[in-house]
């Protein structure tokens, strides 16, 4: 059994913690992670005990290096992953409870977009936030 790349827990105060756990890839977001985050967001949205949602990472290397450019995808799968990213940004933006991005280290591309979609961003002293897609002319679906 493989480990979960995204974990989700709710504490007794109603803080839901969505944690990215793929440090060997600097939390580069692959399709499996995007799908898991969307499922966990739906759970948090529907759970009356959840008062706030925090997204963070399991290590202190960074929230996310963005899209996993090493994921082998054909054109259809690549388009689907872009749709998942767009849905994820929309879900964070429209989430009915406060959302917080705990950012430290590298927060790049898709990771930075998730942070921006949250209501509040908290950054450590080592935070480096970048949007390389803008310089490359990348645009959402």
pLDDT tens per residue, range 80-129 = 999 999 999 999 999 999 999 999 888 999 999 999 999 999 998 889 99
Inside any domain, residue 1: no
CB proximity list for 91: less than 8 A, separation 6 or greater: 38, 41
Domain count, the chain: 1
Orientation angle between helical segments 31-46 and 75-94, nearest 10 degrees: 30
- Tell me if 11 is assigned to some domain: yes
In this prediction, residue 104 carries a pLDDT of 87
- How many whole angstroms separate alpha carbon 129 and alpha carbon 113? 10
| Residue 62: per-residue pLDDT | 83
What value does the mean pLDDT of the chain take? 92
CATH code of residue 131: 3.90.226.10
């Amino acid at each position: 059994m493989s480990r979960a790349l995204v974990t989700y827990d709710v504490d007794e105060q109603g803080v839901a913690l969505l944690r990215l756990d793929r440090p060997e890839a600097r939390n580069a977001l692959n399709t499996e992670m995007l799908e898991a985050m969307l499922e966990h967001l739906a759970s948090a949205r529907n759970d009356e005990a959840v008062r706030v949602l925090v997204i963070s990472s399991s290590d202190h290397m960074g929230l996310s290096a963005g899209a996993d450019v090493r994921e082998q995808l054909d054109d259809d799968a690549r388009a689907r992953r872009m749709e998942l990213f767009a849905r994820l940004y929309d879900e964070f933006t429209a989430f009915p409870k406060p959302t917080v991005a705990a950012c430290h280290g590298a927060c790049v591309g898709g990771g930075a977009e998730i942070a921006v979609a949250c209501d509040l961003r908290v950054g450590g002293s080592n935070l480096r936030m970048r949007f390389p897609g803008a310089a490359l002319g990348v645009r959402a679906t």
